[in-house]
Amino acid sequence: ISTSALMAGLPVTLIEVTQEALDRGVATITGNLDGAVKRGKMSAAKRDTALVNLSASMSMDALAEVDLVIEAVFESMDVKKEIFSALDAICKEGAVLASNTSYLDVNEIAAMTKRPQDVLGLHFFSPAHIMKLLEVVVGEKTAPEVVATGFALAKNMRKIGVRAGVCDGFIGNRILGHYLKTASYLVLDGAHPDQVDKALEGFGFAMGPHRVGDLAGLDIGYMTRKRLAATRPAEERYGGAIADRLSENGWNGRKTSKGYYAYEGRDTLKNPDLDAIIDEERAKAGITPRAFSDEEIVERYMTAMISEATRVVEDGIALRPVDVDVVFLSGYGFPRFRGGPLHYADTIGAAALVKRIEAYAQEDAHYWQVPELLRKMSEDGSTFADLNKGK
């Protein structure tokens, strides 16, 4: 995030809690800027100016006069609350206080300050100096000019800003959390992670969900499942058992050289221990595995994605279907030629999607539920494109 701001010509004060972490941060930023020069993204002179614009400190008091703070610590509500309480005391009146949280409640964070109108979410996608998407998360009390500042920052950083409401995961990660359950269910019920990945890559995704999980780090999903465990309904089928086993073995993907796949240098290989874990978890759940065609894998995965995307629009978390599409095209590797999940939904048709969901609900009525908006569209023949036009 600091690299991105510096490349946009903004002065940056970097805060870390130890000298070692601060030195590592400055070295990483310097390396990122050097890389941008090598790739022709900025001149050596601009790089030098950017480094002059970077200051570093272990004291949050250095933020007393800044216009905008972006907190980017790990996903712990307690830690974020502590930081925002401190920022409220330190930062000048009118400073915008933003959280780079991927999931957490921005309203709860804002409540730690005496200025909730100045608090919003700025959810950057990793790596933030390369990825174009920026979810601008608007809290209940976020002032309009603070929202406008978030979008102005996105424009200045040459990012695509998308307005999102407050819920667990906002637009992208809320939808992601839902449809990744389908990938888990498919594997428990008989598909292999490699088959699921190849089927979805054949559909047009740059990487299948298990390859993406390995790249991002399986510990992220593990921590999210543990965080949400207490809120999981009793009737919900748990699909995370296989992924949990991998993380509990210390196999968190590329960074540990093993996850759903094994990694040697740039080579992606089969994890020789994966199939035994899958067999054990199927046996524990009393599942007799069945075969899935690639077509059925794609249909289930995409129907789950479309279902939750519809609910995100229905709930007002995304104001328009096109906002969902932009999020997935810009931040989630959705195949561009398919136009985004809700644009793609129009090519299938609401009536056909409702029929699919009702058929899947015969085996899991909790997970597969028809969104009211989709049912209404199937009855009146309207489309997501119509909603984008305000019809």
Q: How far apart are CA 14 and CA 62, in angstroms?
A: 9
Q: How far apart are CA 18 and CA 41, in angstroms?
A: 31
Beta bridge partners of 122: 136
- Say which amino acid occupies 221: G
CA-to-CA dists, residue 337 to 77, 175, 235, angstroms: 38, 20, 37
Q: What angle do CA 258, 1, 180 make, to 5 degrees?
A: 40
Q: What angle do CA 201, 128, 100 make, to 5 degrees?
A: 110
Q: How far apart are CA 147 and CA 131, in angstroms?
A: 21
Tell me if 244 sits within 8 A of 227, measured CB to CB: no
- Say which amino acid occupies 184: S
H helix or E strand, kind and range, residue 35: helix 19-38
Tell me if 309 sits within 8 A of 342, measured CB to CB: yes
Cβ–Cβ contacts within 10 Å for residue 213, how many? 25
Catalytic one among 123, 129, 178, 343? 123
Beta bridge partners of 124: 134
Structure tokens at 20: 């070692």
Asked about 129 being catalytic, the answer comes back as: no
Q: How far apart are CA 27 and CA 32, in angstroms?
A: 9
List the one residue out of 184, 360, 189 whose CA is nearest residue 288: 189
The number of angstroms, rounded, from the C-alpha of 242 to the middle of its chain's C-alpha atoms is: 21
- 356 Cβ contact partners less than 8 Å away, ≥ 6 residues apart: 299, 303
Q: What angle do CA 290, 181, 347 make, to 5 degrees?
A: 90
Cβ–Cβ contacts within 10 Å for residue 82, how many? 13
Backbone angles phi, psi at 361, to 5 degrees: -65, -20
- Say which amino acid occupies 197: D
Active site positions, annotated: 123
